Amino acid sequence: MTADRLERYADLALKVGVNLQPGQPLMINADVAHAPLVRVIADRAWRAGASTVFAYYNDLQLRKSLVDLAPDAALTVSAPGTVPMLEELVEQHAAYIKVVGDPAPDLLAHSDPARSGRAFQVDFAPRWGRAIAHRELAWRCARTAAATH
């Protein structure tokens, strides 16, 4: 995707997707493989007047290590600070963009599917679900194109 198209896509996600307002904070969540798009979204958010812009990255390679190698008790542990971070974003009426698109669709193909299914943050996931269900955040998913990986 060209730089111009990435900027227009970012503007669409910000203006139409989350309706980012001047002075509003923005959180962007994405896999590390999507960093080029995250950077463009952040740049456009600053230009649109966001008060703060944060990127929170996931890494599918680390998830594979978790699923394949970690003790069972580690599968459901929430990263330190994620729930308070979400609470603060809700309090600030932040906008939230989740960049989606699987950069490695076959990465977990040989991993135990039961362990993979249990690997989620048990403290964070329910709070995130409530924030979305109760519209406590202006949120949107932004799909990545293959060219941005």
The 10s digit of each residue's pLDDT in 33-70 is 999 999 999 999 999 999 999 999 999 999 999 999 99
CATH number at residue 24: 3.40.1830.10
Q: What is the mean pLDDT of the chain?
A: 91
In the β-sheet with 53-58, what is the strand arrangement from edge to edge? 53-58, 26-31, 95-100, 138-143
Give the pLDDT score at 148.
41
Number of domains in the chain: 1
Query: At 57, phi and psi to the nearest 5?
Result: -100, 145
Q: Which of 148, 101, 149 is nearest to 1 (CA)?
A: 148
Give the pLDDT score at 147.
40
Give the pLDDT score at 122.
86
Domain that holds residue 15: 3-148
Model confidence at 71, pLDDT cuts 50, 70, 90, reads very high
Give the pLDDT score at 146.
47
